[in-house]
Amino acid sequence: MPVPVVPPDLVRAQENAAVDLVPIHPVADELAVRFAAAGHRLYLVGGSVRDALLSQISSRATEQTDLDFTTDAHPPAVLAVLEGWAEAVWDTGIAFGTVGARRHGTTVEITTFRADAYDRVSRNPVVAFGETIDDDLVRRDFTVNAMAVELTGGEQGRDRRFVDPHGGLAALAAGTLDTPATPEESFADDPLRMLRAARFVSQLGLTPAPRVVAAMTAMAGELARITKERVQVELTKLVLGRHPRRGIELLVDTGLCEYVLPEVPAMRLAIDEHMQHKDVYTHSLVVLEQAIDRETAGPDLVLRLAALLHDIGKPATRRKESDGRVSFHHHEVVGAKLTRKRLRDLRYSKAVIDEVTQLVFLHLRFHGYGTGEWTDSAVRRYVTDAGPLLDRLHALVRSDSTTRNRRRAAALQRSYDSLEQRIAALRAQEELDAIRPDLDGNAIMQLLGVPPGPLVGKAYRYMLALRMERGPLGAEEAEAELRRWAAENGIG
């Protein structure tokens, strides 16, 4: 990207102003003194500088507990500087020139100037140390991450200097995401940077430069070189960002989503059954935003993924009915299967897979009861099937109402209010969150005189269904019901 020529005096004034905007953590000051004493230069760099400047520009305070530095010192010299100062040191990244340390609860990573080359087949660089800070900054992913503050300048090693050869500060102020080198060169080196671009759109609210979007579109297929684990990490950060809809839209518009969540762009083919939305894809993005508005304890990965994926079964179940309307019967069942398969492929944890899949499977359960009165047995089954996901299910179902018909929207919310009131009333009467049969397995075996085996499980399931239907029975009634069931099934 060409950088406009600026008079030297103006450059210095801008650098001074920028330095004043970056609060320097006390740990960084301590580290700078030690590097200067050893005759080395030390720069605060990357996300540490970006986030500090962004907090000043947006007036959104951020606390820095992780600091990134770059230096002209090679790893053995870095280890020598840290000796006796750091409370803990780790060298797992030393092959890439990185040494980690901790001091007073703050984590620091110090990396020797890099001037790597890439083989354009894998994303693993051939590590090469650079000679200058400019060598290091030009290889970084985006201009907003290619800024640095030198902490060891001047004769006493205490002067600070802002280094921004690629216009990162101006890009940050303008809300623009661009690359130091050409985006084609940057993304060829590491295709994961295309997914990181969408992540920064979500996290920071930046708008990608047209040339970045064009390169992402042309090179989307290169993402296939990246391992599923790395893709999942970036996708998770994107989904948990402040503007995930914008990040998802960028992935879909550039074709990258075909290599991450192909079921999401596929929803553009299905018009929703109410004929109220452009397509199911747009509806799902609205549901995602509405679910975020209902979060009460910070970003919720499970809820957000469920909101985004809850209708991915619709394209496969789309049918045109005789009256001309479109239906998607059992799309929640198909969607749950697709969700489980996709999240497994992305190497999500079993807990995340199970919880998101269950929410997708249950998201239509409420609508299955229509607007009629909820019976006690229906409430018990709803709560039991949701289990610990009940609050998230409440949020998902309420968020799934995107109709523009205000009367219909209000009716749906009132109906769900009624359900929640029924749950609260029944919970006050029963142990609704831990429903068990009135007779456990031991009691069943003793009463029927049978050993452990499939018969006990069959009897247990019958008693559980009875408990769901009729509520607590009491010991005598439960025993009588079990004996009746045993007699009907020829069990002596």
Average pLDDT over residues 434-455: 81
Ramachandran quadrant class, 11 (left: phi over 0; alpha: psi -120 to 50; beta: rest): alpha
Residue 408, C-beta contacts closer than 8 angstroms, at least 6 positions apart = none
Is the pLDDT reported for residue 382 higher than 80?
yes
Average pLDDT over residues 380-390: 87
On whether the CB atoms of residues 46 and 21 are closer than 8 A, the answer is no
For tokens 């807990």, the residue is 351
On whether the CB atoms of residues 60 and 54 are closer than 8 A, the answer is yes
Per-residue model confidence as pLDDT tens digits over 305-345: 999 999 999 999 888 888 877 788 889 999 999 999 999 99
Ramachandran quadrant class, 463 (left: phi over 0; alpha: psi -120 to 50; beta: rest): alpha
Per-residue model confidence as pLDDT tens digits over 207-249: 999 999 999 999 999 999 999 999 999 999 999 999 999 999 9
> SS3 sequence, 174-203?
HCEECCCCCHHHHHHHCCHHHHHHHHHHHH
Look up residue 22 and give its two tokens. Answer: 């970056």
CA distance 246 to 263: 17
The pLDDT assigned to 15 comes to 59
CA distance 143 to 49: 12
Burial 75-85 (b: 16+ CB within 10 A, else e): bebbbebbeee
Is residue 253 exposed (0-12), middle (13-18) or buried (19+ Cβ within 10 Å)? middle
The pLDDT assigned to 276 comes to 47
Pick from 254, 238, 161: nearest CA to 198: 238
Ramachandran quadrant class, 101 (left: phi over 0; alpha: psi -120 to 50; beta: rest): beta
Where does the pLDDT of residue 124 fall: very low under 50, low under 70, confident under 90, or very high at 90 and above? low
Average pLDDT over residues 454-481: 81
Phi, psi of 387 (to 5 degrees): 55, -135
CA distance 233 to 347: 10
Q: Which of 51-65, 87-101, 460-474 has the lowest mean pLDDT?
A: 51-65
The model carries a pTM of 0.82
Average pLDDT over residues 91-109: 92
- Strands 88-90 and 66-71, how do they pair? unpaired
> Crossing angle for the helix pair 210-218 and 192-204, nearest 10 degrees?
140
Question: Which has more pLDDT, 151 or 381?
Answer: 151
Average pLDDT over residues 264-270: 85
Question: Which has more pLDDT, 381 or 234?
Answer: 234
Q: Write the single-letter amino acid at 149.
A: V
Is the pLDDT reported for residue 79 higher than 50?
yes
Q: Output DSSP code: residue 74.
A: -
The rounded mean pLDDT for the chain is 86
CA distance 98 to 91: 7
Q: Write the single-letter amino acid at 401.
A: S
Average pLDDT over residues 345-374: 87
Where does the pLDDT of residue 125 fall: very low under 50, low under 70, confident under 90, or very high at 90 and above? low
Where does the pLDDT of residue 372 fall: very low under 50, low under 70, confident under 90, or very high at 90 and above? low
For tokens 């305070």, the residue is 61
Look up residue 153 and give its two tokens. Answer: 């300048």
